[in-house]
A and B are shown apart, each in its own frame.
Chain A
Amino acid sequence: MDKLDDREVRQLAELAHLALSDDERASFRGQLEAFLCYAERIQALNTVGVEPTSYALLEAGLEGESRLRDDRPRESLDRKAVLDQAPDASDGLFKVPKVLP
């Protein structure tokens, strides 16, 4: 693992939509580096021919049957109650600030 530089941390923060201060970036950079240095050990394991596991039970052959349901209309959550949780909503829609600056 090469050292992470500030530019990379800045880019990660942007990808993750996180506004970070200079101090935060500096401290996260050190902590991420320390973890990645620790995690480097897995590179030494031989995984040639080993399939990746995303869901443990699928790989163990225990689950995996289709859970798709019939496409029929049914009752869902109350729209007003859901929109009441939004920071801003009107006319039955979520409202966001202007998209173009």
Chain B
Amino acid sequence: MTLWQETVTSLSQKLRAGELSAAETTRAFTERIESIDPSLGAFLEPMTAVATERAQALDALDETKRGPLHGVPIAVKDIISVAGSRCTCGSRILEHYVPVYDATVIERLHAAGAVVLGKTNMDEFAMGSSTENSAFQTTKNPWNIDRVPGGSSGGSAAAVAARLAPAALGTDTGGSIRQPAALCGVVGLKPTYGRVSRYGLVAFASSLDQVGPMCQTVEDAALLLETLAGDDPKDATCATRPVPSYSRELDADVAKLRLGIPKTATGEGIDDSVRASFDHAVRLFESLGVETEAIELPSTEHAVACYYLLATAEASSNLARYEGVRYGLRNGATKALREMMAETRAGGFGPEVKRRILLGTFVLSAGYYDAYYQKAQRVRSLIAKDFENAFERVDAVLMPTTPTPAFPIGDKVDDPLSMYLMDIFTITANLIGAPALSFPAGFSKNGLPVGVQLVGRHFDEATILKLGHQFQQSSDFHCKAPDLAR
């Protein structure tokens, strides 16, 4: 196995033991980005010079000062602030914006010894499920370059799948970590709402957004979450409870744990390959001694409608800050204030962002607020109640991550509703604030990866990580890599 094929867990052990230097590790990945990424478009901005300098500084550190991620390179979705590097959010309106501070997750990665490799492509302001909504480039799926990598964290998923980075940070508002992870054959974890600080994350829908890791194995996700999670006084929504040692619990007994299987999981509109992989996953868990039982989540058929009403309302409010005054683009500088703002936003935002701002404005406007916004908030409570009832009987819920494998580039760009329906299985975890872990569980006939996800109780990442890890100990889907990474 060459260096760039290794997992975070394996790299960190070798780096801490001094068997590998941080500089040679970072170089292995920056060289790979340089040679492979032009055909994939995963990175918006590689940070080769900064990463190299940091790796050299880490090599000069005293052995006793090496952190848990000493010298491990990590790619970062371009919606998370890294001081001194552009943070575009995939948008023209922030094309030249350079944050003056690090996000808390970046501070934590740095404190643990990690090296930020570069910023990855995404759907503009994380709005999309294919990364085609980036204002700058289309990212290709490393398994088949005619297919989308998923979204909105498509650049991060493609980077990990192509082994251009051993791990990446993504963000998940309605599935934006898990859906691209599934479509690219990697692991993606959306932590419990509040588990990870969002200070320095550019906001999309504040009651739903979470930052989380994307990587090759569940073991790596556990290790990374230990670094990322924990209280942050700079984020008022961040949970104060202590962070468990997820890695240490990975091998604990899973026999007798109870897994809920929603009756809708293999229903209408689900691709045969997804159904087959899901059924196989159920049997594999049963072979580990896990007990499965059918559960009903009756309100979840309304989740897509509920989610898009609430997420767009929050987005229309959050994105009001881009008005050509404090940062980013300004168009119509010679016109009056209101016209300048309207022209800046017209020129700076792409079609999907405009569409969602308009929908959110509609949902919040007088006359429609009760019928749409507040109704959706009540439906959100019903969906939460469904899961609350389920979690009285089961320890986690197993679902497909996506209804189909990766679709062709261009297939859904002109049909927003069909794109939104790709999120049908992922958005419930965001609406209820629960943790959810997607991992590879099979392949379609034409060789595209398929994922399944585990949804856990609030703040019980430990259980879904343990289940996911032991699934991977008994399967090899996560060991397969696309041709360009063999």
Q: Are the CB atoms of B358 and A51 closer together than 8 Å?
A: no
Taking a contact as CB atoms under 8 Å apart, the answer to whether A51 and B337 are in contact is no
B336 touches A39 (CB 8 A): no
A54 beta carbon closer than 8 Å to chain B: yes
Question: A12 and B375: CB pair below 8 A?
Answer: no
Which residues of chain A are within 8 angstroms of B111 by Cβ–Cβ distance?
A: none
How many residues from A make CB contacts under 8 Å with B? Answer: 54
Chain B residues near A (Cβ < 8 Å): 97-98, 100-101, 192-194, 207, 233, 236-237, 239-240, 299, 301-302, 304-306, 308-309, 316, 320, 323-330, 333-343, 345-346, 349, 351, 354-355, 357-359, 361-362, 365, 371-372, 374-382, 384, 388, 416-417, 420, 431-433, 458-459
Q: Which of B98, B305, B345 contacts A85 (CB 8 A)?
A: B98
- Given known A47-B382, A56-B431, A97-B333, contact A19–B345 (CB-CB < 8 A): yes
A37 CB to nearest chain B CB (Å): 9
Please state if B381 and A51 are interface contacts (CB–CB under 8 Å).
yes
Q: A residues within 8 A CB of B325?
A: 86-87, 94, 96
Chain B interface helix/strand/loop/mixed = helix
A-B contact number at CB 8 A: 174
A72 touches B (CB below 8 Å): no
Scan residues 47-98 of chain A and give those whose CB is less than 8 A from a CB of chain B: 47, 50-57, 59-60, 62-63, 65, 67, 69, 77-78, 81-82, 85-88, 94, 96-98
Residues of chain B lying within 8 A (CB to CB) of residue A87: 324-325, 327-330, 333
Chain A, residue nearest B336 (CB): A101
Q: Which one of B97, B330, B375, B379 lies within 8 Å of A88 (CB-CB)? A: B330
Known contacts A16-B316, A56-B431, A86-B327: A42-B338 contact under CB 8 Å: no
* Most chain A CB inside 10 Å of its own CB: which residue of B316, B338, B362: B362
- The 23 sampled A-B contact pairs (Cβ below 8 Å) are A9-B358, A12-B365, A16-B345, A18-B346, A19-B346, A31-B417, A38-B305, A39-B372, A42-B376, A42-B379, A45-B302, A45-B382, A47-B378, A47-B382, A51-B378, A51-B381, A52-B381, A57-B458, A63-B237, A86-B325, A94-B326, A96-B340, A97-B334
Across chains A and B, which 4 residue pairs bring their CB atoms closest together, nearest first?
A56-B433, A52-B377, A87-B330, A47-B378
Judge whether A26 is part of the interface by a CB distance below 8 angstroms.
no
Give the nearest-CB partner of A25 in chain B.
B358
- What 4 additional pairs, Cβ within 8 angstroms, besides A12-B358, A18-B345, A47-B375? A20-B346, A50-B378, A85-B327, A86-B325
Report yes or no: A28 in contact with B309, Cβ–Cβ below 8 A: no
A17 within 8 A of B: yes
A67 partner residues in chain B, CB cutoff 8 A? 233, 236-237
Asked if A41 meets B302 with Cβ closer than 8 Å, knowing A20-B346, A31-B355, A47-B382, the reply is yes
Tell me the minimal C-beta distance from B134 to chain A in angstroms: 19
